[in-house]
Structure 1
């Protein structure tokens, strides 16, 4: 039996598959623990990353180059949900990008995600993902001229420019959504329309040309699966959804703002505000 067929057999066995996955994670963690950190990475947008190189992750990348923007105060699932989906597209290279390389904290301040490249090190992207955040993060982003100029410049060459949650406000502040249909976090919809001349659509994701906006937080998963179908076809996107076991069955029917009682909306916003830094 070949090595590849043995591996497939193991993965199809529940207990054995779990053991194999655990071993892989252990080996990965051990490798990371002794890694002293890479040298400055090459500009994203050059030749495909080779196996083992910066961003290569042990395999050659020949698919779309995807950049996920991080800024101080983003909401954790906004960038990481799409990254989970898009990083599994065939040949895809997904990189977290921020003004400066290094850890970038979320809106709660409890978690930091590593940005592997700075804006200056990111030359060209096929896909840009702009996450949303709490009030501090979103306000900071829409008033950051360096960030907005980079988004405008990057958008000129992307195949797809996308946002999650209040990330649509950031795209709008960069001038990309004027006169377009878009969605955003439900509580930000009036501001998106009044401040930026955008037509708000209360849907999980909205496509307007090569710009795709997603509603709040978890909607980034829906948007990413739709984007995956545009990039690699519906069958691949369906397989990714199954691989993730993304079959939402929440314990409560309270996730639709259009159907929520005023008291629940008020409490939801208060929880978000109180959990932010």
Structure 2
């Protein structure tokens, strides 16, 4: 299964746990492929100085089974980036589109979440406004919900920050197998946290 992790300037580095979970999952399921995509391929400056190299840009990215849009303060620029929005909208026709944290705001701006249930980052430090509340107020065609994961089959959205780990484990469980997901959770020492998060913020599937 081929995953594309979409990054952009000012992504929060913690959201690179999306890549990290898949990297560890390859120990249990080596057929996973992981690639990075950005609006423009090459060096991308994330929040607080971390630099990553995106393997592909939106103009040369190959086909993926799943594209994961990461979150961070840079989402506010990406929702105004025509190339990013056009890329995500086009890929949504034949790819499982996934967001973690405020990546959901970018999928919303691209029209990928219209008519669907979705979640995004909820908790913030005042006076910042909760992205989940912003999504609810700005996108009336989206049914927002505060939870860890919302799986609408072709679109999967996740809650904020470290819940990106739960989103990736959910994808492993539902798109590969429960055994691969459980083994990955075990070896990243996250099994109890995953179960606790599912109990507190139950995933929604339809």
* TM-score, structure 1 as length reference: 0.63
**Does 2:169 match 1:225?**
yes
CA shift, 1:248, in A, is 6.0
Aligned with 1:145 (options 78, 82, 85): 82
Alpha-carbon distance in structure 2 between the residues aligned to 1:190 and 1:239: 35
Give SS of 1:212's match. Answer: strand
Normalized per residue, which structure has more helix? 1
Alpha-carbon distance in structure 2 between the residues aligned to 1:149 and 1:177: 14
Alpha-carbon distance in structure 2 between the residues aligned to 1:130 and 1:234: 23
| Gap runs ≥5 in structure 1 | 1-63, 250-255, 257-277
CA shift, 1:178, in A, is 1.6
- Aligned twin of 2:31: 91
- Aligned twin of 1:112: 51
Aligned with 2:3 (options 66, 81, 91): 66
Question: Which structure has the larger Rg over C-alpha atoms?
Answer: 1
Give SS of 1:121's match. Answer: coil
Give SS of 1:120's match. Answer: coil
Cα separation, partners in 2 of 1:85 and 1:177, compared to 1, 3 Å: same
Matches within 5 A, 1:119-268: 119-134=58-73, 137-158=74-95, 160-186=96-122, 187-197=130-140, 198-247=142-191
Give the aligned CA root-mean-square deviation in angstroms.
1.7
How many residue pairs get aligned? The number is 183
Q: 1:182-225: CA deviations, max 9, x gaps?
A: 11111111110111122221111111232111110100100100
Decide whether the 8 Å contact of 1:177 with 1:196 is kept in 2.
no
| Gap runs ≥5 in structure 2 | 123-129, 194-199, 201-206
